Structure 1
Amino acid sequence: MNDLLQNSIQNGIHRLPVRVYYEDTDFSGVVYHANYLRFAERGRSEFLHSCGIHHSDLFSRPDPLAFTVVNMNIDFLAPAKIDDRLEVVSAYIFIKGARLHIKQAIMLDHRVLWRADVHVACITAAARPVRMPRDVSSLLEPHLTQEEHFLNFIDKP
């Protein structure tokens, strides 16, 4: 795994290195379950940054926008431990109206520890769903990938 922040998308897949620190673990020395959500959020945000989309820019528009998670299905498969060098893998699968479908995995040495199926909505400042504006979706669309491509990527040895 590259030590540098790999802030680019290759073939629809974004990879973000994350090291597990003491603050990320629980009393037993493994990553506390809620911290996987933090790692995943960083992966989704860095994916957007790679596309030229920044949360602060979206919210400072004349018609302020934000993204919010509306549904997340998670599988915890194996624990991560202090000093592990993880990789957050993110793939944006499709955009439909106000919704984005994202697949994510957290991996250690090519082994999936955690995976999630995430549905995100584009919302107004009043927290109402709104169709993603074309200027935003056009930045994401070139980086969308097929779910099968993501699954093949995380399943390869």
Structure 2
Amino acid sequence: MSHTFSVRVYYEDTDLAGIVYYANYLKFIERARTEWVRELGVDQARLKAEEGIVFAVRRVEADYLSPAKFDDKLDIVTTLEELRPARVVLRQEVRRADVTLFSSRVTLVVLTAEGRPARLPADFRRRVG
């Protein structure tokens, strides 16, 4: 199962050299994860309001392979790597055409309003699995 989300690189995304500032790749993959969850039919605001849980990034492994530049159209491809009762591991790649510019492995967990670990909701596991 994979999901693709597209973004355009704006001037504000770049540094003085005209390439995408490294931290902005994390913003791009965050947006892609949000859209992936939304397309699964999971309402994160409802989860927080009704069940008192939120998704949180536990770990990010990132490889910057090649720079993206102003006005590039990028595709962020999100692929499920691992689904456990209390965590999700995703592979996320930022691509320009067929070239991978940035590759990451992201581990998500669920936290309660008090910041304690929780299990993934059964509905979410069903939709992903």
1:50-100 CA-partner distances (Å, limit 9, x unpaired): 100122111111x31111111111000000000000000001222212110
In structure 2, the partner of 1:72 is 60
Aligned residues: 129
Amino acid at match of 1:37: L
1:100-139 alignment to 2 at 5 Å? 100-139=88-127
- Residue 94, structure 1, aligned to residue 82, structure 2: yes
What TM-score comes out, normalization by structure 2 length? 0.96
SS in structure 2 opposite 1:53? coil
| Alpha-carbon distance between aligned partners in 2 of 1:65 and 1:110, rounded to the nearest angstrom | 37
- Residue 14, structure 1, aligned to residue 6, structure 2: no
| Alpha-carbon distance between aligned partners in 1 of 2:12 and 2:76, rounded to the nearest angstrom | 18
Q: Where does structure 1 differ by over 3 angstroms across 4 or more consecutive aligned residues?
A: none
* Structure 2 unaligned residues grouped into runs of 5+: none
Amino acid at match of 2:35: E
Q: Contact 1:97/1:130 (CA < 8 Å) preserved in 2?
A: no
- Residue 34, structure 1, aligned to residue 9, structure 2: no
Amino acid at match of 1:44: R
1:109-134 CA-partner distances (Å, limit 9, x unpaired): 11000000111101111111111121
What TM-score comes out, normalization by structure 1 length? 0.79
In structure 2, the partner of 1:46 is 35
**Deviation of 1:138 (Å):** 1.2
**Structure whose residues are more often strand by fraction:** 2
Name the Cα RMSD after superposition.
Answer: 0.9
Q: Matched residues, percent identical? A: 36
Larger relative contact order, structure 1 or 2 (CA cutoff 8 Å, min sep 6): 2
